[in-house]
Amino acid sequence: MTRSILVLPGGAYRHHAPHEGEPVAEWLRTLGWDARVVTYPVLTRHPEPLRFVQREVLRERETHDTVGVLGFSAGGHLAGLTAVTPDAAAGERPDLAILCYPVVSMLTPTHKVSRENLIGPRASWWKRRAVSLEKLVRPSSPPMFIWHTGEDDLVPVEHSYLLGSALAKHGVPHDLHVFADGGHGIGFGADLPAAAWRALAERWLQRF
């Protein structure tokens, strides 16, 4: 069986954070997964980033049996959107998703920069709802591993709680880990307790 994970760095839909890209792909390769960084379009409107990643998922399916996505912050939002968007064609939806301190809801005041870069500064309530992950989860959504920190003041942990609640409501298998210490954008977590997310994710990935 061949397995692949597409890595989507964060960056508020305006750039790609380097520490959330290739170092993460290299780590996944040590776990026996093929992995590559996806430089999805930024500073462009929805649905262009989503369509781009969907095409990348389809491309991976040509040579892999299992395809996952892993994203950080805004990249976590895009990874999650690829996993739960309701109008995905056959093969465009990944088999699993790992979301690291993800932007989840576009209905909350945060993260304003990601929201405005993706759907514009004056997006309607309906347009905001259409890209809010917690509103798109269905029983058919793929399993997810999510982690966040309680001290995140840019993308509050509320985002991951909203997604976890939606996944539980619809019976979607998921792991949700919240670490007390650490702010936003910490990547691997360095010397923080949140660094444990990698060992937890490694164990979770063993089921696929």
pLDDT tens digits for 190-206?
889 999 999 999 999 99
E strand spans, the chain? 3-8, 34-37, 66-72, 96-100, 144-149, 174-179
Can you read off the two tokens belonging to residue 132? 């809010």
Per-residue pLDDT at 1 exceeds 90 = no
The domain that contains 24 carries what CATH number? 3.40.50.1820
* CB contact set of 114 (below 8 Å; sequence gap of 6+): 12, 13, 73, 74, 77, 103
Nearest partner of 138 among 83, 205, 94, judged by Cα: 83
Domain interval for residue 162? 3-205
The model's pTM: 0.98
pLDDT at residue 90, as a whole number:
86
Nearest partner of 155 among 45, 96, 77, judged by Cα: 77
Q: What is the mean pLDDT of residues 63-77?
A: 98
CA gap 21, 63 in Å, rounded: 22
pLDDT at residue 127, as a whole number:
97
Query: Which alpha helices (DSSP H) does 62-102 contain, by range?
Result: 74-84
Task: Specify whether the CB–CB gap between 197 and 189 falls below 8 A.
Answer: yes
Nearest partner of 13 among 121, 157, 162, judged by Cα: 121
135-173 pLDDT per residue, tens? 999 999 999 999 999 999 999 999 999 999 999 999 999
pLDDT at residue 148, as a whole number:
98
88-144 pLDDT per residue, tens? 998 999 999 999 999 999 999 999 999 999 999 999 999 999 999 999 999 999 999
Edge-to-edge, what's the strand order for the sheet holding 66-72?
A: 34-37, 3-8, 66-72, 96-100, 144-149, 174-179
pLDDT at residue 142, as a whole number:
98
Query: How many distinct structural domains can be found in the chain?
Result: 1
Cα-Cα end-to-end distance for the chain: 10
